[in-house]
Amino acid sequence: MSMRMPTNVVDIAKNVKEILSDAEGGHDWYHIERVWKNALNIHRHEKKGDLYIIQLAALLHDIADAKFHDGDEAIGPETARKIMTQHQVPETVIEEVIRIIENMSYRSSFSELPYTSVELDIVRDADRLDAIGAIGIARAFNYGGFKNRPLFDPNIDPVEIISKESYVKNTGPTINHFYEKLLKLKDMMKTQKGKELAIERHEFMCGFLEQFYKEVR
């Protein structure tokens, strides 16, 4: 790679891989690696944003997700800070990465005063790409299985998600998650490359849903 690549990015990646060794299948090291690669790809086309910050945010964004820690929203940023401090990341960079991590999740998209930056847009698009398409389908059903949710229930309709609370406390069937969130992501992409890559994945999900309902009805 010709880009500036501080050696501690690779050290931090190794550290993250160890920490996530028993993570849920949709939020494991390979999710992080895909987001990291997606982010590098988007950055290459955008030609904007600090690549060091982008990579650290991609690597650390799911290090301790609140949904696997009883809703504790402090544990992710705290863990990310600890790791960056151990690897001698400068304080100004740590602050920036933490702000990105705090504002990346879908939960945060309901916040009234959303934080924005080029780096956030790139890493969030990279993460959203991994929530859609074939990999998105696999991750959604794995998460639903992990939470012991039904695949499909003809008596429970998708709900309108209008707040962080309604998003977090929703326990509906996994198929509903496509209508509640995943199908909306294509139009929420911020970067040009992200938008482009989202189209094919979005269409694949639409085809999947069509076939799914053909089979279950």
What is the contact surface with ligand ADP in residues (CB under 6 A)?
26, 67, 105-107, 131, 139-140, 143-144, 170, 174, 177
Binding site for Ni ion (CB under 5 A): 62, 127
110 versus 143: smaller Cβ distance to Ni ion: 143
Which of 51/161 has CB closer to ligand ADP?
Answer: 161
Taking the C-alpha atoms of residue 73 and residue 47, their distance in angstroms, rounded to an integer, is: 32
Least Å distance between CB 78 and Ni ion?
Answer: 18
Q: 15 or 170, CB closer to ligand ADP?
A: 170
Nearest to 183 by CA among 147, 146, 215, 210: 210
**What is each CA distance from 130 to 42, 107, 112, 143, 200, in whole angstroms?**
13, 16, 25, 14, 13
The contacts found for 152-158 with CB under 8 angstroms, 24 or more apart, are 152/212, 152/216, 154/216
Shortest distance (Å) from residue 31 CB to Ni ion: 6
Closest CB to ligand ADP among 38 and 174? 174
Please, what is the minimum distance in Å from the beta carbon of residue 26 to ligand ADP?
A: 5
Q: Is the dihedral of CA 83, 85, 89, 93 positive or negative?
A: positive
- The whole-angstrom separation of Cα 2 and Cα 183 is 36
The partner in contact with residue 51, picked from ligand ADP, Ni ion, none with C-beta cut-offs of 5 to 8 angstroms by kind, is none
Which residue is it, tokens 């501690």? 8
Minimum distance from residue 213 beta carbon to Ni ion (Å): 28
User: From the list ligand ADP, Ni ion, none, which binds 131 (C-beta under 5 to 8 Å, kind-based)?
Assistant: ligand ADP
CB atoms closer than 10 angstroms to residue 3: 10
Output the CA angle 108-111-113, nearest 5 degrees: 125
Q: Which is nearer to Ni ion, 29 or 110 (CB)?
A: 29
Q: How far apart are the first and last CA of the chain?
A: 50
140, interface contact from ligand ADP, Ni ion, none, CB < 5-8 Å by kind: ligand ADP
Least separation in angstroms between CB 93 and ligand ADP: 22
Cβ-based nearer residue to ligand ADP, 81 or 107 = 107
Report what 179 binds from Ni ion, ligand ADP, none; CB cut-off 5-8 Å by kind. none
Helix (H), strand (E) at residue 211: helix 192-216
The amino acid sitting at 214 is K
Residue 67 contact among Ni ion, ligand ADP, none, beta carbon within 5 to 8 Å by kind: ligand ADP
